[in-house]
Amino acid sequence: MDRHAINLADKLGEFTEHWSPKIVGGFNGNDLMVVKVKGEFTWHSHPDTDDFFMVLSGELVIQMRDGDVTLRPGEIFVVPKGVEHCPKADVETHLLLIEPAGTPNTGDPDTAAVKTRI
């Protein structure tokens, strides 16, 4: 059992690329990930799981077909499973993501970013 705290700021300092989730831990079959984002992602949905976002720094807009949600530092939002959405950030934004291990970030394994553990 690892008994060390995970410092998210330190983990975010280990990489520079955008839209490339990094697994920093896990619990109950879920991946805890940090990611840096800037610009617009792709419209997608997850048919079998909700999508959890927490903004650590910056600002994230989660575009959905029936309206947008804007998140600022310390705020979270859960996109319900099956809801098409497209995250975007005008400035570099740092996020904490939680999702079941193995879930493709685009909802499609063929187009998903490869998640690495740091």
| CATH code of the domain containing 39 | 2.60.120.10
Band (pLDDT 50/70/90 cuts) for residue 108 is low
Q: Which domain holds residue 76?
A: 8-103
The domain total for the chain is 1
Q: Check pLDDT > 80 for residue 12.
A: yes
47 falls within a domain: yes
Q: Specify the pLDDT at position 103.
A: 75
Q: What's the mean pLDDT in 17-43?
A: 95
Q: Check pLDDT > 70 for residue 6.
A: yes
* Residue 111 neighbours by CB distance under 10 Å: 11
3 falls within a domain: no
Q: How far is 112 from 37, CA to CA, in rounded Å?
A: 15
16 falls within a domain: yes
Residues 6+ apart with CB under 8 A from 82: 45, 46, 47
Q: Check pLDDT > 90 for residue 71.
A: yes
13 falls within a domain: yes
23 falls within a domain: yes
* Residue 85 neighbours by CB distance under 10 Å: 22
Is the distance from CB of 32 to CB of 21 less than 8 angstroms?
Answer: no
Band (pLDDT 50/70/90 cuts) for residue 3 is confident
Say what the pTM is: 0.90
113 falls within a domain: no
